[in-house]
Amino acid sequence: MPGIGAEGSSLPSPAGSLPAPAIGWQRPLRAWLKRGWLGLLVATIMALLVLPPVWTLLQTSFSATQTDLSYGGLTLEHYRSLIQGRNLGNAALNSVTFALLATLVSLCFGGVLAWLVERTDVPMKGLAYVTTIISLGTPYILYVTAWLYLLGRAGPFNDFYRSWIDAEAMPFNVNSLGGMVLIEGFLWSPLVFLMLSATFRAANAEMEEAARMSGASIPQTVWRISMRLAWPAILALALFVFIRNLESFEVPALVGMPGRVDVLTTEIYRSIKEMPPRLGYASAYSVVMLLMVGVLLFAYGRISRHAERYASITGKGYRPRPFRLGRARWLAGCVILFNFLVVLALPLCALLWVAFMPFMRPMRWSAVKFLTTKQFDAVLSSPHYLSLGVNTLVIAVCTATIAMALTVLAGWLAARRQVAGGVIDQLVTVPLVFPGLVLGVALLELSLKSPLPLYGTTWLIMLAFTIRYMPYGMRYAYAGVLQIHPELEQAAGVAGATTGTTLRRIVVPLLWPSIASGWLFIFLICAKEMSLPLLLAGPDSQTISVAMFDLWSNGQGGEVAALGLLWAALMTLFASGFYAIMRRHAAKTFGH
Amino acid sequence: MLNVRGLTKVYANKGDGPSGGVQEASFDLQPATFFTLLGPSGCGKTTTLRCIAGLETPDAGSIRVADTTFFDSAQGVSVPMNLRRIGMVFQSYAIWPHMTVFENVAFPLRVTKGEKLTGAEIGRRVEEALERVSLQGFGGRSATRLSGGQQQRVALARAIVLRPRLLLLDEPLSNLDAALRDEMRNELRRLQQQIGITTVYVTHDQTEALEMSDQIAVMERGRIVQIGAPRDIYFRPANAFVAGFVGTTNWLDGAMGEACGPGIRQFRLGDGRSLQCILGNQQTTGGARISVRPEKVVLRRDGAPAAAAHNRLDGTVVFAGFLGTMNRYQVDIGGSTMQVYDAADAAFTVGERVALDFPVADTVALDG
Ligand SMILES: Nc1ncnc2c1ncn2[C@@H]1O[C@H](COP(=O)(O)OP(=O)(O)O)[C@@H](O)[C@H]1O
Ligand SMILES: [Mg+2]
C-alpha cells in the first residue's frame, strides 16, 4: 500500500492514497476528484478560453455568409474565392518574402552585434545594452512612424539627396517591400541581440580554446567551432523571428498598405474593415495563417530542443575570455555606434523633431524657428487622450493580473505533474499559433455571436489579451515553480496544510519575483500592442495605440509623435519604478 | 625539456586591485616527466598551465620547450597558442557536440599548419589514438552520446593525436565519480609512461598527486613553495603549509634547542619534555613546530623498551577506531592529542596507558 510520501510532490490526502478495491469504483473516483478538482477546474477554464476561438474560425470559414451573422450551410465557398483570387498567392508571397528578408536583416545585424559584445574586446559594450533596453520599451507604432518620417518624402535622407544631387528624384520610396523589410528588421534586431548574447555568453569558452590548442587559427575556430555550436540556437531564433514577422501587422499596415504592398495580415484586416465585413473570407485567410504558424511552431519546438541538447553538455566556462580584435577593434566599435544611431538616436531625434513641428517638414536649420509645443499642449490638455490613457492602463493592469493569476495555478499544476497538468500545459500553448490579428478576427466573430453583449467593450479586449499573453505568463510561472524545491510544499502538507493553503502561504510568496516579472512583461506589451484592439475596440474602448494608428491614418503625424513620446516616457518611468520596488521587496523577503 | 623561469601573471581585478594569478614560478622538467601542480583551489595552478599553453599572456618570465622559446618577456617573444603544438585536456573536456568522436579527434590533424595528411593517414592516426585510450570502434559515435569517462578519453585522444611534446591536463578527473576516478588515474599514468610524453598535471587532490607524479610542485597563493618527488614532499615538507596540505599530520608546539648530531636538533615541548628532530629546511630557527605523520607513530605497551633513533612520548588512548586495513587512535599526550595510524592487529583500548614511538628522521621541525 503506498504511503503518504509515495505520492511524489502531491500533497497528502489520505483518502487519495488508499486504494479500496473491495468497495467498488465510486471510492477511487471520489478520491481522485478530491485530489484533482483544482486541475480539472483550471483545465476547464483554459479550454473555455483557448478552444472557442479556434472553433469559431473554422466554423465561420466553412459556413455560408448570412446577413444576420448566424451560420449558413456548410460550404467551401470562402476557400474557393481565396484560391481563385489573385490576392492569396500575391499576399502569401509578399508575406514570406517580407518575413524572410526582415529576419535576415535583424539576424545579421543583431547577431554580429551580440557576438562582438559577448565574445570580443570591442569598446562601448554598455552602449549596446542601453540601446537595446530602451528600444524594447517603445511601442512599435512609434518606431514605425519615426522610420516612416526618416526614410519618407520629407525625411532627412531623401531631403539630402534632393538638395544636393537631384531636386526632382525620390531615391528611396519607403512604402515598398524594401522599406518594410528595413524597418521590421531594425524593429527586431534588439531582441535578436538579447537572445543571441545569452547564447554566446553561456557558451563554453573551453570549446574554442580546445580548437586553438589543436592548432586552429582564429577564423578557423570561429567558423568551425563557435558558429557550428551556436547554429541550433541561431536557427531556432531565426524561425521564431520569422514567425513573428509573418504575424506582424504594424509595419505592413503603416508602411506597406499605403504603397499597396499587401501581405496576409493586411489582407485579413482589409476584408474585415470592408462594408459589409467579409468574415468568412477573413476566417479562411486566418485558417491558412494558423496552419502556417502551427507548422512553423512545431519545427521551432524540435529545433530548440536540439539547441538545448547542445547547451546541456557544455561545461562550466570559467570567465568570459574574449577574442582580441587588435586593429579591427575600432571598426567593431563603429558597429556599436551604428546600432546606437539606428536603433535609438535617429528615431528619437526624428520623433522629437516631428512632435515639435507644426507639420511634417524636412530637418533643416531654417525650420527651427517653427518649433512649437502645440502638439504636446493638444495631447496634454485633451480629456479624450486622458481617458484613452486611463482606459489602456485599466486594460493592461486587469489583463496582467488575470493572466498571471491563471498561469500561476496552471504553472504549478503543470510543473508538479498534478492531475490534468499535462493537458493544461498543452492548452496554454495553443494561443501561440494565433497571430494577433487572427485572434482578433476570431474574437470578433465570437463576440458577434455570443449572447453576452461583449462586442465593442473593454471586456472583449481584456479577454483577447488574456488569451494571447497567457503563454508568456506561463513561462514565468512554470520556470519559477521549478526553482522551488518540492519538499518546501511537502513540508507544508505534512504540517497539515491543504492544497489551497499551501499555494497561498508557500508557493505564491516564494514565486513572487517570477509573478511580478511576468506581470510587468504582460502589462508592458498590453500597453503597446495594437493589432488586437484595432479590430476589437468600440467607440468607448479605444486604447492609446489604436488612437495613434487613427491619428497617423488622418495624417496627424505630429500628434502621434507627441502622444507616443509621452506614453513611452510614462511606461519607462513605470517600469523602472516597478523594478525598484520589486528589488526592495525581494531584499526584504529573501535577504539579499 | 620544459623550462619555466620567473613566470608571473597578475590579474587586475576590479574592486580589490591586482590579485590572484601566479608569481615567480620557475621549474625545469626532464623529458617524460609526470609533473604535478598541487595546491588548494585558487592558488594559481590553472593560471600557470594556461600560460604554458599560450591561452594567457604572462606579465613576465620565460617558457621554453626543448630548444624552442614559447614566451620570453625580455626578448618580446610570444608564440601563438595554435603554433605551439601542445596537447591539452580541459576540465570540462570541451568535446565539440556537433562532431562525431572521429571528427573530434581528427580536428587537430586537419587544422594544424604543415600537417598535410591524406584521408587514409588521418584515419589511421585517429584510430591509433582511440586505441591508446581504449576507445577503438567508437569513431562513428556522436559526441553527445558519451559518458563522462568516455568524454574524457576522447579529450585525451584528441590531445595526443598530434604526438605533441608536451601534454597539459587541468583537473581531468574532478568531473568523474569516485570509482571511475581511481580507474582513470591508473590508466592516465600508464598511457603517459607508454608514450613517454612530458606531462604537466593540475590537481587539488593530494592522493592523486602523490600516486601519479614523478615530480610535484606545491603552490600556495600564487607561489610555488616546494618542488620535489612525492616522497620528499610527503616526508620532508618544506613548510607548515605543505605538511598540512599534503596528508594529515600532528603538530607539536615548542622551541628549538641546541644541535645534538649531524642535522639533528633538540626540541623542547611546552611542558618541558624534549625530543630530537630534523630540520625541514635550513632557515628553520627559534619558535617552531614539529610535524609527525600519524602513520609513522607506533603504539607500545606502557614501559616497553625504547628503540634506537626514536622519540618516545607517553599518553592515554582516548579514541580507538578499527578501519579494517588499520587502527586509528587518538592519544592524549598531556594537553594535546595525537593521531596515530597503527597496524590492524595492534589493539589498544580506550583509557589504556601507551608509549608513542616515532623515528627521529620523521620528526620534522618547520616554521610556525
Ligand atoms: N581571468 C581572471 N581574471 C581575474 N582573476 C582571475 C582570472 N583567472 C584567475 N583569476 C584569479 O587568480 C587566482 C588563481 O586562479 P586559478 O589559477 O584558476 O586557480 P586554481 O589553482 O584553482 O586553478 C584566483 O584567485 C582567481 O580568482
Ligand atoms: Mg583550476
pLDDT value, residue B120: 93
CA of B45 to the centre of ligand 1 (A): 8
Q: Is B158 on the interface with A (CB under 8 A)?
A: yes
Q: Which residue type is seen at A356?
A: F
Encode pLDDT of B201-211 as tens digits: 999 999 999 99
Residue in A214, A227, A318 to test binding to B, most B beta-carbons within 10 Å:
A214
Encode pLDDT of A147-200 as tens digits: 888 888 777 777 777 777 777 766 778 889 999 999 999 988 888 888 888 778
Please state which of the ranges A385-389, B283-287, B329-333 shows the lowest mean pLDDT.
B283-287
Ligand 1 atom nearest residue B171's Cα? 23
Residue B171 to residues A570, B40, B94, B199: CA-CA distances in angstroms? 53, 12, 13, 13
Highest mean pLDDT among A7-16, A565-574, A581-590, B132-141: B132-141
From the list B83, B94, B113, the residue facing A210 with the nearest CB is: B94
Query: How many angstroms separate the CA atoms of B293 and B242, rounded?
Result: 13
pLDDT value, residue B55: 85
Q: How confident is the model at residue A586 (pLDDT cuts 50, 70, 90)?
A: low
> What residue's CA is closest to ligand 1, atom 14?
B44
Encode pLDDT of B254-272 as tens digits: 888 888 888 888 888 888 8
Highest mean pLDDT among A16-30, A98-112, A216-230, A537-551: A98-112
Ligand 1 atom nearest residue B222's Cα? 14
Site to substitute for ligand 1 among B47, B51, B52, B204, most atoms within 8 A of C-beta: B47
Contact between residue A301 and residue A471 where contact means Cβ atoms under 8 Å apart: no
- Is A447 exposed, middle or buried (CB count within 10 Å of its CB: 0-12, 13-18, 19+)? buried
Q: How confident is the model at residue B339 (pLDDT cuts 50, 70, 90)?
A: very high
Query: What 3-state class would DSSP assign to B77?
Result: strand
- When pLDDT is averaged across residues B232-251 and rounded to a whole number, the result is 89
Highest mean pLDDT among A207-211, A213-217, A488-492, B219-223: B219-223
Q: How confident is the model at residue B329 (pLDDT cuts 50, 70, 90)?
A: very high
pLDDT value, residue B368: 57
Ligand 1 atom nearest residue B170's Cα? 23
pLDDT value, residue A10: 36
pLDDT value, residue B341: 93
Over 60: is that where the pLDDT of A19 sits? no
Contact between residue A543 and residue A388 where contact means Cβ atoms under 8 Å apart: yes
Over 60: is that where the pLDDT of A129 sits? yes
User: Could you report how far apart the first and last alpha carbons of chain B are, in Å?
Assistant: 36
Of B33 and A583, more confident:
B33
Nearest CA to B126 out of B113, B145, B140, B144 is that of B140
- When pLDDT is averaged across residues B20-47 and rounded to a whole number, the result is 93
What's the mean pLDDT when you consider all of chain B?
88
pLDDT value, residue A315: 43
- When pLDDT is averaged across residues B149-175 and rounded to a whole number, the result is 91
Query: How many angstroms separate the CA atoms of B57 and B50, rounded?
Result: 9
Over 60: is that where the pLDDT of A592 sits? no
Residue A491 main-chain phi, psi, to 5 deg:
-60, -40
Query: How many angstroms separate the CA atoms of A531 and A546, rounded?
Result: 8
pLDDT value, residue A38: 87
**Cβ–Cβ of A204/B112 closer than 8 Å?**
no
pLDDT value, residue A556: 84
Q: How confident is the model at residue A14 (pLDDT cuts 50, 70, 90)?
A: very low
CA of A195 to the centre of ligand 2 (A): 30
Q: Confirm or reject: Cβ of B41 under 6 Å from ligand 1.
A: yes
Taking the CA of residue B48 and the nearest CA in chain A, the distance in Å comes to 15
Contacts of B111 in chain A (CB under 8 A): 211, 214-217, 220, 224
Query: How many angstroms separate the CA atoms of B51 and B200, rounded?
Result: 12
Query: How many angstroms separate the CA atoms of B58 and B23, rounded?
Result: 10
DSSP strand pairing (B68-72 vs B17-29): unpaired
Q: How confident is the model at residue A317 (pLDDT cuts 50, 70, 90)?
A: very low
Q: How confident is the model at residue B281 (pLDDT cuts 50, 70, 90)?
A: low
Q: How many CB atoms lie within 10 A of CB B288?
A: 21
- Is B103 exposed, middle or buried (CB count within 10 Å of its CB: 0-12, 13-18, 19+)? middle
Q: Which residues on neighbouring strands pair with residue B199, listed in sequence order?
A: B34, B167
Place of cell 568516455: B150
Over 70: is that where the pLDDT of A318 sits? no
Of B114 and A535, more confident:
A535
> What residue's CA is closest to ligand 1, atom 9?
B21
- Kindly state the cell numbers that stand for A106: 535583424
pLDDT value, residue B67: 87
Please state which of the ranges A4-13, A503-512, A552-561, B295-304 shows the lowest mean pLDDT.
A4-13
Site to substitute for ligand 1 among B9, B10, B11, B55, most atoms within 8 A of C-beta: B11
Contact between residue B214 and residue B196 where contact means Cβ atoms under 8 Å apart: no
- When pLDDT is averaged across residues A58-84 and rounded to a whole number, the result is 77
CA of B43 to the centre of ligand 1 (A): 7
Please state which of the ranges A351-360, A403-412, B155-164 shows the lowest mean pLDDT.
A351-360
Over 50: is that where the pLDDT of A316 sits? no
- When pLDDT is averaged across residues A45-64 and rounded to a whole number, the result is 89
pLDDT value, residue B340: 93
What's the mean pLDDT when you consider all of chain A?
82
pTM above 0.80, yes or no: no
Query: Count of alpha carbons within 13 Å of B22, Cβ hemisphere only?
Result: 29
Q: What interface predicted TM-score (ipTM) does this complex get?
A: 0.77
Encode pLDDT of A469-509 as tens digits: 999 899 889 888 888 888 788 877 777 778 888 888 888 88
What percentage of chain A exceeds 70 in pLDDT?
Answer: 90
- When pLDDT is averaged across residues A12-41 and rounded to a whole number, the result is 62
